[in-house]
Chain A
């Protein structure tokens, strides 16, 4: 039992290598930003 480390979320990037790329998610700068690019603000449309 870890005492000093609490893992919040597990590995998730590499598992999308095979499944990702459908392109159905929105453009990253289309709505609430318009002056920067942050893909981290989105969720996967298939998730």
Chain B
């Protein structure tokens, strides 16, 4: 597929897939691009005779041909670069600080914290070994990311504290830039740990599903009581103390809250940096059903309208999946390689076992080694490394291939038992939110081109922003 048309209400946009160019178009051009494939000019002109004035159609065709000459429409495919050397360089590691949690979230891919195994806490020694594994694996790469994950990492606070101090020391010694992120349910945040996380530049991913009713339904404490009040108290403490920056409120929507825009709006009462993701599963009652799709399709449009309206009013919020960098996005190599799971990115369990990513933990056949042995399944590393988007049958001709990179390997494996076969429902959602993201970015960019205020979201790769002293 060489182009992709999309629209939100009467805003029409076309993406030139192979160049990455984006154009805002009128309805007539939109209609014409349903027929015109870059070569069939006569057929297209004939097709629209009678529907539109002949002179208008011819004028529109001239504009389309002009874009083609500039390489901005119907750009041909280009050869995939050989950017994948056999020896991967590690860029990111997820430390499972605790396979334990004080909540019992119904959709948890960690099986309410224990990842299908027994409950366990990472030790200081394993945590240090994991950091050294990351530093060594990152070789000459300057930037390195470590995510403190769970379960709930704060149930193992002494090790969080230890590993953060250790990382900051090793950062000085190695000269690397080590970005730390901690994902938490918020219920154990307090003044002391919030201060420590702020002082040590730890980004926060705060799990909040929306309104109290939505959140409490899916995220109860072990005893069954909803966790919203306690979580939000912790989130407010953290967000206020870091001046409204350096965090994401990250939610999951399910079959039970298909109208998730309402939940996103509820989240705005807590913070303005928001990510909301579809739940993933197979046969569980909360899983998204086929008949849910028309509702979700419309819901992303509804969210896009709210998002645009608020941005233009100067009351904007950030929605992670509406962030799309049209001009300065990732290079082709990155767009092909995707998430890096299994070759640039790994997860470490409390015992020191190595998996391709946090979602694969507990799927025994994907255990790649241990911190003691190193990675022993070298073939699996190469399999992940070379399973890029152009190797997947369903992706090779998809218009979204340079934005989604072939989707999530773990979801593909969970649903289809094969990382080469993308999770189709996830693709539908991905494509819809990408359409909305591209349209929104195009409209906000056009506002700037017309001399209006730049209200586009700042995309900063989730870097810790230090507040400037007054």
Known: A11-B16, A21-B83, A44-B334. 6 other contacts (CB 8 A): A5-B63, A8-B23, A12-B21, A32-B250, A38-B405, A42-B334
Interface residues of B in 299-346 (CB under 8 A from A): 320-321, 323-335, 338-341, 344-345
B19 contacts which chain A residues (CB < 8 A)?
A: 10-14
Q: 6 A-B contacts, Cβ less than 8 Å apart?
A: A3-B59, A6-B25, A8-B23, A9-B22, A30-B147, A32-B275
User: What 0/1 pattern do residues 398 to 429 of B give for CB contact below 8 A with A?
Assistant: 00001111111001000000000000001000
Whether A5 lies near B92 (C-beta < 8 A) is no
Is the pair A5, B20 in contact by a Cβ cutoff of 8 Å? no
Residue among A17, A23, A36, A41 making CB contact with B91, cutoff 8 Å: A23
Distance in Å: Cβ of A5 to nearest Cβ of chain B: 5
Q: A29 to nearest B CB, angstroms?
A: 4
On whether A33 and B91 interact (CB within 8 A), knowing A13-B18, A17-B78, A43-B459, the answer reads: no
Q: Which of A1-47 contact B (CB under 8 A)?
A: 2-14, 16-17, 19-45, 47
Known: A8-B24, A8-B442. A28 touches B340 (CB 8 A): yes
Among all A-B residue pairs, the 7 with the closest Cβ atoms: A20-B331, A16-B331, A47-B328, A27-B92, A21-B333, A40-B403, A11-B19
B277 near A33 (CB under 8 angstroms)? Answer: yes
Residues of chain A with a CB closer than 8 A to B60's CB: 4
| Size bracket, chain B contacts | 35 or more
B residues 68-120 in Cβ contact with A at 8 Å: 71-72, 75, 78, 81, 83, 89, 91-92, 94, 109
- Is A42 touching B330 in the complex (CB atoms < 8 A)? yes
Contact residues of B with A, CB < 8 Å?
Answer: 16, 18-26, 28-29, 59-60, 63-64, 66-67, 71-72, 75, 78, 81, 83, 89, 91-92, 94, 109, 141-143, 145, 147, 179, 181, 183, 203, 205, 248, 250, 252, 275, 277-278, 280, 320-321, 323-335, 338-341, 344-345, 357-359, 402-408, 411, 426, 430, 434, 437, 441-442, 445-446, 449, 459-462
Among candidates A3, A5, A12, A34, residue contacting B67 with C-beta atoms closer than 8 Å? A5
Q: Select the residue from A5, A7, A17, A36 with max chain B CB neighbours within 10 A.
A: A36
Chain B residues positioned under 8 Å from A16 (CB to CB):
330-333
- Picked from A19, A24, A26, A40, the residue with its CB within 8 Å of the CB of B404 is A40
- Would you give the shortest CB distance from B464 to chain A, in whole angstroms? 11
Q: B357 near A29 (CB under 8 angstroms)?
A: yes
Whether the pair A34, B358 counts as a contact (CB closer than 8 A) is yes
Known: A24-B141, A31-B147. A44 touches B328 (CB 8 A): yes
Q: How far is the CA of A39 from the CA of B402 in the complex (A)?
A: 8
Contacts of B252 in A (CB 8 A): 35
Q: A26 contacts which chain B residues (CB < 8 A)?
A: 91-92, 143, 145, 179, 461-462
B333–A20 contact, CB under 8 A?
yes
Contact of A43 among B142, B183, B325, B434 (CB under 8 A): B325
User: In the complex, A11 Cα to B60 Cα: how many Å?
Assistant: 21
Structural contact, B331 and A21, CB atoms closer than 8 A = yes
Q: A5-B23, A29-B408 are in contact. Are A39 and B459 (CB under 8 A)?
A: no
Once A7-B23, A39-B335, A44-B330 are accepted as A-B contacts, the answer to whether A33 and B344 lie under 8 Å apart by CB is: no
Question: Known contacts A36-B408, A38-B404, A42-B461: does B445 contact A8 (CB below 8 Å)?
Answer: yes
Please, how many angstroms separate the alpha-carbon atoms of A45 and B330 in the complex? 8
Query: What is the distance, in angstroms, from B86's C-beta to the closest C-beta of chain A?
Result: 15
Q: What is the minimal beta-carbon distance from B368 to any residue of chain A, in angstroms?
A: 16
Known: A12-B20, A14-B78. A40 touches B437 (CB 8 A): yes
B329 in contact with A43 (CB, 8 Å): yes
Say whether A20 contacts B461, CB under 8 Å: no
Decide if B63 touches A31 in the complex (CB within 8 Å): no
Shortest B219–chain A CB gap in Å is: 15
Kindly list chain B residues whose C-beta atoms are within 8 Å of the C-beta of A31: 147, 181, 203, 205, 248, 462
B277/A35 in contact, CB under 8 A: yes
* B334–A9 CB distance below 8 A: no
Partner of B321, one of A8, A19, A34, A41: A41
Q: Which of B28, B179, B324 contacts A4, CB < 8 Å?
A: B28
- Quick one: closest A residue to B322, CB to CB? A41
Cβ contact within 8 Å between A6 and B434: no
Q: Which A residues are CB-close (under 8 A) to B460?
A: 43
A30, B297: Cα distance in complex, Å? 26
Q: A29-B357, A32-B205 are in contact. Are A3 and B277 (CB under 8 A)?
A: no
Contact B459 A8 (CB under 8 A): no
Closest CB in chain B relative to A39 CB, distance in Å: 5
